[in-house]
Structure 1
Amino acid sequence: MKTDELIKYWIDASEVDFVAMNNLFNSKDYVWALFLGHLVIEKLIKALAAKNKIKTIPKLHDLNKLARLVSLQLNDDQKNLFDIITSFNIEARYPDYKKEFYKKCDLSFTSKYIDEIKGIRNWLLEHINK
C-alpha cells in the first residue's frame, strides 16, 4: 500500500470504531464502548506512524509505546490518560481484572473517558492532517 492509502486505511478503520463506540455508549454498553475507544486512538496513532513512513507498524496496543514510536510529544497528564485508555483493552485481561473493570464502567466513569477519547481523537486528526 502507498503511504496515503495506508493513512486512509487507519483513519477509516478508526472512524468505524468511533461510530460503534458512540452506538455502544448510547445503548449503555459501557465496557465495550471504552474498549472501542481505545481502538479509535490506537488506529489514529498507527495512521501517524504511516504518515511518518514507519515501514513496519508494530502490533502493539500500549498507547504510550505507540506515541513514542511516532514521536508524539505528551505531557505527564496525557501520558497518564494514555495509560488509563490502554487499560480499556480488555481482550487480553484476566477474568478478575475484567470483573473489576465492569464494576467501574457506570455512566459517570464512561462519560468522562468517552469525552477524553473524543478530545484525543480530534487532536490526533489535527496531527495527521498537518
Structure 2
Amino acid sequence: MLFFPGIMIDRISKKLRMNPQTKNWLDSATYDLETAESMLQVGRYIYTIFMCHLTLEKALKASVQELTGKTPPKTHNLRYLLKLSQLEPQEELFNFLSKLSDVSIPTRYPEDFAELKKSYDKKAAEYYLKATKEAFQWIRKSLKY
C-alpha cells in the first residue's frame, strides 16, 4: 500500500482507495442526511435543517481530510470548511452553503423557540433538504470515488 496525503493506492490493483477517516466522515454525513429526512417526515423541521447543516459540515470535513490527510478543524463554519477543502462551487451553491451556515446558529441556539418554529416551517425544511442533497452529491463527486 502506498500512502499520499489522504489517498491510499493498492500496489496490486493500482486502484485509489478512500482514506478510512474520509470514509468515516462520509458515512456519518450520510447517516445525518437520513436523519434529516426522518425529521422532515415527522414534522421536526428545525431538526431537519440542523441535520442538513451537520450533513454538509461532515461532507466538507471529508473533503478536507482527503485533501490534507489531516483531521479537519472543529468548526461549524461551512464557508471556512469550503475554503479549506479548496472546492470551487458555482455561485448558487456557495450562496446556499453560506445561508445554511448562518441558519445553523439559531437552530443550534434558539433565542425565541416559538418564532424559530414559525420561521422554519415545512416549506423551509423541504427547501433546505433538497438543496442539501444536491450539495452533498456535488461534494461526494469531487472526491472521485
TM-score bracket for the superposition, by shorter chain length: 0.7 to 0.9
Equivalent position of 2:97 in the other structure: 82
What residue is the counterpart of 2:120 in the other structure?
Answer: 105
Match of 2:39 in 1: 24
Q: Quick check: which one's helix share is greater?
A: 1
Where structure 2 has 5 or more consecutive residues not aligned to the other structure, the ranges are 7-18
Matched, 1:34 2:34: no
Deviation at 1:108, TM superposition (A): 1.4
Tell me the C-alpha RMSD between the 2 structures: 1.9
> For the structure 1 residues 100 and 86, does the alpha-carbon distance in structure 2 shift closer, same or farther, using more than 3 Å as the test?
farther
Q: Which residue is equivalent to 2:144?
A: 129
Counterpart-to-counterpart distance in 2, 1:129 and 1:44:
13
Q: 1:45 corresponds to which letter in structure 2?
A: L
**Cα deviation 1:37-59 (Å, max 9, x = unaligned):** 10100100000011102524111
Contact 2:110 2:116 in 1 (8 A): no
What is the count of residue pairs matched by the alignment?
127
> Which has the greater radius of gyration?
2
Distance in 2 (CA, whole Å) between partners of 1:116 and 1:76 is 13
Which structure shows the higher strand fraction? 2
Which sits farther off after the overlay, 70-79 or 56-65? Answer: 70-79
TM-score w.r.t. structure 2 length? 0.79
